């Protein structure tokens, strides 16, 4: 019995430590005060849904934006967003890792990363559009990376509780 309890406690700790998480730094408020046009560089290798989620978030938050092809020249006065997203398969497709970087006047001014470790935890599965939205919330300074991590953690716990009540 003691061995089973120790094993369960160890596995629970490992799964909890490997939950999805965000990291990064937001765009300085002074840059956003100038209301720059946002240029989103379309990544050819990333699934189309990622760009759709970025565009949806920008529209919802009233940002003027344009989508430009990868490799094209962009205006230095635009706030340029470059993204990449990687999906993995483990019984279902899930957003495993993603990065969004912001550039302004030739300098990187913000970056955000999302990572859902590919382990035994079901927490890696989640709504990719929502997770991308939290990335943009962090990048544009609406919430911190810790708050984004906490938000998806709380939401997943709520969904788990609701499923168990059914």
Q: How confident is the model over 25-55, as pLDDT tens digits? A: 999 999 988 888 999 999 999 989 999 999 9
Name residues whose C-beta falls within 8 Å of residue 23's C-beta, 6 or more positions apart in sequence: 112, 113, 115, 145
Closest to 99 in 3D by CA, of 111, 87, 107 = 111
Q: Are 121 and 19 in contact (CB under 8 A)?
A: yes
pTM: 0.79
Task: Give residue 156's region: left, alpha or beta (phi > 0; psi -120 to 50).
Answer: alpha
Q: Taking 60 as the threshold, does the pLDDT of residue 89 lie above it? A: yes
- Give residue 92's pLDDT: 65
């Amino acid at each position: 019995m003691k061995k089973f309890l120790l094993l369960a406690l160890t596995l629970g700790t490992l799964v909890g430590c490997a939950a999805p998480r965000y990291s990064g730094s937001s765009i300085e408020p002074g840059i956003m005060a100038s209301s720059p046009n946002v240029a989103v560089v379309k990544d050819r290798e990333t699934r189309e849904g990622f760009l759709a989620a970025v565009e949806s978030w920008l529209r919802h938050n009233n940002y003027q934006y344009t989508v430009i092809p990868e490799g094209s020249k962009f205006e230095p006065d635009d706030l340029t967003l470059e993204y990449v997203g990687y999906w993995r398969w483990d019984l279902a497709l899930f957003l495993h890792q993603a990065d969004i970087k912001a550039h302004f006047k030739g300098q990187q001014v913000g970056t955000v990363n999302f990572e859902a470790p590919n382990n035994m935890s079901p927490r890696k599965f989640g709504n990719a559009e929502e997770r991308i939205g939290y990335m943009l919330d962090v990048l544009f300074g609406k919430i911190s990376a810790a708050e984004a991590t906490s938000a998806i953690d709380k939401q997943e716990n709520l969904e788990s509780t609701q499923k168990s009540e059914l």
